[in-house]
Structure formats: C-alpha cells, structure tokens
Amino acid sequence: MKVCVGNWKMNGSTGLLNEMVEKLNQKRYTRVEVVIAPPFTHLKKASETLDKRYSVCAQSLCGLSEEGSFTGAVGTSLLKDVGVHHVIIGHSERVKHFGEETKTFLQATVTALKNGLAVIYCVGESEVDREEERTMEVIKHTMNALISTLHKEGVWELRGKLTVAYEPLWAIGSGATPTVAEIEAVQLGIKSTLPWDAPVLYGGSVTSANTEELLSVKGLGGFLIGKSSLSDDFFKICDICNGQETVSQGPGP
C-alpha cells in the first residue's frame, strides 16, 4: 500500500476544493492511501465532504499547547474538532520562511502524538549539504534527535503513528529530483537509523511524469506531493501508484 499526500500549501479556492473532492470521491483506490492537506481554512469542509476512505491533514500545528492564548496559532484540539487525522511537521518551507527550528518540530510532534494525530515528519538536506556530501550526516542527526525526543517525552509507544518524508530542500518546487540511487540511499539511511519500520515517503517535484521512475526506489512508501496535488496530475500519480487498477464511480461510499 502506497501513501500519497497532497500538500496544497497556501493555495486553493473553495471552488478547487469542491472540484478535487468530487473527483476524489469518485475514485476507488485499492493500493493507495490518499491524504489531502489543504490550507487551514478548508480543513473543516474537506473533512465533511471527503469520502471517509480518505484522510484530511493539517500542514503544521502549534506544539506549545493543545489550546490557549496563542494568537494566530492552531493547536491539536482545533484540528481534531474539524476532523483532521494527520499533520505535516518540519516541512522545509516552515524553516525557510518562518524560521522554525528542529526544537519546534520535535515539540509539535510530541503534542500531536499525545493527542492522537498521525505525524508526517519531514527531513532533508540543503543544496550546500548535498554539495559537501553531508546528506546522510544531516539525515541521521535529525532522526537521532527524533528518537531521543520520543523516548524522553514518553511517547515512544506511539511511534507507529509516525511517517517520515524525505524532502531535499533543493528539490522543492525546483523541478529537479535526486536520482533513484540517491533516494534509495537516504531511505536506507533513515530505516537503518530508526529502530522501527516507519514508512518513508519522497517529496520534491513529484509529477505524473516521474512517478514510475521514483516508484523504482525499493521499499518507498509513497509521496508527499506539492504543486501537482492542485490539479488532475494528483489523480494520475495516485493511479500510477495504484497500479492502474482504479475505477471511477458515482458519488457515495
């Protein structure tokens, strides 16, 4: 079973949400778990209209508290109240544009797990790290910090609700992707560091044009999809992951 997560980022009108949900509800995937992560403003409607075979995901959360006096923040209580099941934590754009750090991501991960949300934890190297051949060093350092935090904060038994997404910073939105061999090496590095079998997704300029090639990565758990999740290309990616066995039906369960 592959996992396809559509990360809409700060995009998508109500009209687009209606269109994508209608099309997705007509699909019948047998080998793909589909998760969509629209902006906060669309989470409630997505949860109410999307077929229950699919999951709704938040793009970030405030790990300081479940709720409280944190202007502009969204906590686990609010997310669960609108039907959210997953949350993306640690995306490179949260680092690049908002200055968030690993400490923030680890705190958010603990809060999410304690409150029943599944976590998609992002990890990846910068272009400089890649040029200096420090990719595996960066990846393993991040994974070891995650392992230590899960133990220290008493949520180790909840590790089964955690998925890792490898998203090289230099590939996000660039149209460039690592080679199959590079992705395979990183995935093996992640799996060899984590003492449990966590699914590993790949994210970074994923399109229907390169999906088949990326699927040749042995043991890859699926994809974290950005730009392509806003168009019919998302369904093409899911179809390919499903082995072309998808059937379309009318609306309804």
List residues with catalytic annotation: 91, 167
Strands 27-28 and 247-248: antiparallel
Helix, strand, coil percent values for the chain (each to nearest 5): 45, 15, 40
Helix (H) or strand (E) holding 55: strand 55-58
Instruction: Tell me which residue of 9, 4, 2, 1 sits closest to 206, measured CA to CA.
Output: 4
Tell me how crowded residue 67 is: count the other CB atoms within 10 A of its CB: 14
| Residue 27 to residue 6: CA distance in whole angstroms | 15
DSSP state, residue 133? T
